[in-house]
Structure 1
Amino acid sequence: MAPLLTLQFVAALLTFVAPSLGKGVAPGQIKNFVTFGDSYTDVGYPAADGGYAWPTYAAGYGPFNLYPFAKSGGTCSNNLTYRPFPPIVGSQLPTYFDEVKNGTLHLNPKETIYTIWIGTNDLGVNALITGSDAPDVSIVPVRQCAVDIVKVLYASGARNFIMQNILPLDLTVLYSANSYPNRYWDAERNSTEWSVFMRELSRSGNAITELMLQALAPTLPAAHIASFDSYGLITDIYNNPHNYLNGTAPLNVTGCVKSCVYNMNDKDSDPVCTTAEGTDRDSFLWYDELHPSEQTDRIIAREMTAVMKGKPSKWATWLS
């Protein structure tokens, strides 16, 4: 009976393991990555972190060939949350497809991974949190839009994807309970109410996205989709800065490298600004009232590089 029991055990083990077989990219497989998103991912120099954005660092850490399409100020779609900046749908994706069509861009699908990090502007000021969107728009279609980008790229031949979820925006200076009039919002507001609302938008948006991705993954044969937990990573930096920040100033997760305090309802006034210089900058989680610091971006780049190289990461889960 022993051989039979052994075979039954092996069969049961294979049944348990089988769903995870083939998940993720293989080590050394990825040589190129294409980015879509907003200022968190835009590589223009100086980037929104005051230096180099995370994709620039990841390209060097890989090394990988970087093809950046993310644009500062962007939303997923201006049909949902309008801002006068290039959204992914309607601008970034068409630009990418134009370059593919005219031969400027020719990438091997097996060796290329696509990263999508969007939502900060969709949820933020002049969008969901201030009610400035279309009356029938909510967090649900906004996050469906992000997931649909995977489907659009898959239909064009792409096979490898990383969806970066929304970071804990309530921990930024802009959306914290102790916020002040700043370059992004100088009008009167209830900062505590904003912080609570933004925490709920971020968390619910991430939960919705994860469920949508889990439902989508089995419908895309041969696709590899990773869910990257930006929310968890930034929260861990906030709670354990000594594990991540290494600047020469006291570690700081509630302030920012470049802080500018404005007069209420007076953007034309001269703000009172303070700026950390040199290696003191690496002591901060945030660069300004909304954006991660360059040191934080190095950490994001390190973890994203691990995912793209097929290595384990505490902050990523392969869904297919």
Structure 2
Amino acid sequence: MLFHRSFLAILLCYGVGVIGTSLAPKQIKNLVTFGDSYTDVLAMADGGTMWPVYASGYANVSLFPFAKAGATCSNNITDRPFPSVFESQLPAYFAEVANGTLPFLAPNETLYTLWIGTNDVGANGLLTGHGAPGVSLIDTVACAVNWVKTMYASGARIFLFQNMIPLQDTVLYSVDSYLNHYWTLERNTTEWNVVMSEITRSGNKLQELMLQALVPSLKDAHLGFFDSYSLFQDMFTHPALYLNGTAPLNVTGCVHSCVYQLNESTADTGVCTIANGTDRDSFLWYDELHPSEQAERNVAREVAEVMEGKNNRWTTWLS
């Protein structure tokens, strides 16, 4: 187990209240995003337009995206052949700042976001023992928190830290999961579901506590904690409030489902079922791991609300 259960119980009982207030209306003019495929605007892992594009449009701000599909926080912690936040995305950002590719972004008008963790803790990550020797959930969480410190040191002052969704509710980590593009080997799906639930909940609480502890060192900064977990849990529990497609509402299947047979070559695509047209908006998930475009629109509306200076149900301002 990644951590002691008694320590987990203490964390889950520890609450963090609203300390700061929302941003001023029309204050934010720029959105800068870091993260993985949940945020990468070019990979289009939702099968359509990604949430940062929608959010920047809803709030009428300029978008500067740096998130990359497949990313973890650091390949020194969970090594994957993808552009991680610290070894790739941050260097790309600082290079663009240095060479003038990125225009000057006024600190009091720019919101910096990070949504990371899905690949760090999942299959081919902590869940399956693929982290560097001796690393744990504490290391992946601390890495994400260090993103705030790094960006603050570079002059950024307004942050929105997006926590992990309830990954146990995705098709990949559900009790009734099947072999798919993301995992083609035998596994105990019940165990994966239980462990993933524990990892995401405790990881998110660790993030919250570490960020709260960091706040006193962030003079003049505004740090928001966006509860992606609770938003997706609400979408899962109350789909009629969020999904509006023409097919029956579905939170356990996905738009693009590909079922593999045991020992099938990973070069094959399995047997795929694809929802088309407006039926797609009836699903919470696009494929076995990623949110649907409709789910991403919901994320975008909430983040846009934050940028517009409104009080947001899913955002706690820590400073």
Work out whether the TM-score is over 0.5: yes
- Deviations 1:6-38 (CA, angstroms, capped at 9, x unpaired): xxxxxxxxxxxxx97863421111000100000
Match of 1:133 among 127, 131, 134: 131
Rounded Cα–Cα distance in structure 1 between residues aligned with 2:263 and 2:95: 42
Q: Is contact 1:24-1:225 (8 Å) kept?
A: no
Match of 2:58 among 61, 72, 80: 61
What is the match of residue 158 of structure 1? Answer: 156
2:251 partner SS: strand
1:89 partner SS: helix
1:115, distance to aligned residue in structure 2 (A): 0.3
What is the match of residue 285 of structure 2? Answer: 286
Q: Kindly tell me: are residues 250 and 101 of structure 1, through their superposed partners in 2, closer, same or farther at Cα, counting changes over 3 Å?
A: same
Rounded Cα–Cα distance in structure 2 between residues aligned with 1:264 and 1:20: 49
1:123, distance to aligned residue in structure 2 (A): 0.5
- Deviations 1:54-104 (CA, angstroms, capped at 9, x unpaired): 001001101110000000000000000010000000100010001111112
With a CA cutoff of 8 Å and minimum separation of 6, indicate the structure with the bigger relative contact order: 2
Give 1 or 2 for the bigger CA radius of gyration: 1
1:271, distance to aligned residue in structure 2 (A): 0.9
Alignment of 1:84-163 (within 5 A): 84-105=81-102, 106-163=104-161
What is the match of residue 37 of structure 1? Answer: 35
Q: Is contact 1:25-1:160 (8 Å) kept?
A: no
Rounded Cα–Cα distance in structure 2 between residues aligned with 1:192 and 1:32: 43
Rounded Cα–Cα distance in structure 1 between residues aligned with 2:197 and 2:298: 23
Alignment of 1:9-88 (within 5 A): 23-44=21-42, 47-88=44-85
Rounded Cα–Cα distance in structure 2 between residues aligned with 1:118 and 1:319: 19
- Deviations 1:289-308 (CA, angstroms, capped at 9, x unpaired): 00000000000000000111
Letter in 1 for 2:79: Y
The percentage of aligned residue pairs carrying the same residue is 62
- Deviations 1:97-144 (CA, angstroms, capped at 9, x unpaired): 011111121211111010000000001111100001122110001000
Alignment of 1:131-280 (within 5 A): 131-266=129-264, 267-280=266-279
What is the match of residue 298 of structure 1? Answer: 297
Aligned length: 301
Rounded Cα–Cα distance in structure 1 between residues aligned with 2:275 and 2:39: 22
Structure 2: gaps spanning 5 or more residues: 1-16
1:193, distance to aligned residue in structure 2 (A): 0.3
Letter in 1 for 2:156: A
Q: Is contact 2:283-2:294 (8 Å) kept?
A: yes
Rounded Cα–Cα distance in structure 2 between residues aligned with 1:22 and 1:87: 30
Q: Is contact 2:164-2:228 (8 Å) kept?
A: yes
1:219, distance to aligned residue in structure 2 (A): 1.6
